[in-house]
Amino acid sequence: MPSIKEKTPGQILDELITADLRCWFAQEHIRDLSLSDKERLYFADLAQAQNARRTELIKAFDELLGFGAYTNTTKSYDKGDK
């Protein structure tokens, strides 16, 4: 499996959409009170992992588009001058 830097914009976008959907569905399971605490914890971990992947993919896509340090994952008060 190629690293993010070796992927095409289309591949990154495809993975971004997939990660976003996986995160959304995992969050839906977290709210499902019919599931056990153990099951809901599993989905919480999954949602966190998918959100982390989503952030990584957004940053890679933004770099491809030339946005560099200013992505929509950057805090509004963070001007990148650390």
In a domain, 48, yes or no: yes
Residue 19 within any structural domain of the chain: yes
State the Rg of the chain over Cα: 15
pLDDT at 72: 62
Residue with tokens 């959409």: 17
pLDDT above 50: residue 82: no
Cα–Cα dist 12/6, whole Å: 10
d(CA 29, CA 9): 30
The whole-number pLDDT of residue 23 equals 95
**Domain contains 31:** yes
Residue 11 located in a structural domain: yes
Domain that holds residue 35: 7-64
| CA gap 39, 4 in Å, rounded | 31
What is the tens place of the pLDDT at every residue in 53-78? 999 998 888 888 877 666 666 555 45
> What tens digit of pLDDT does each residue of 30-46 get?
999 999 999 999 999 99
pLDDT of residue 67: 75
Number of domains in the chain: 1
In a domain, 81, yes or no: no
70 within a domain of the structure (yes/no): no
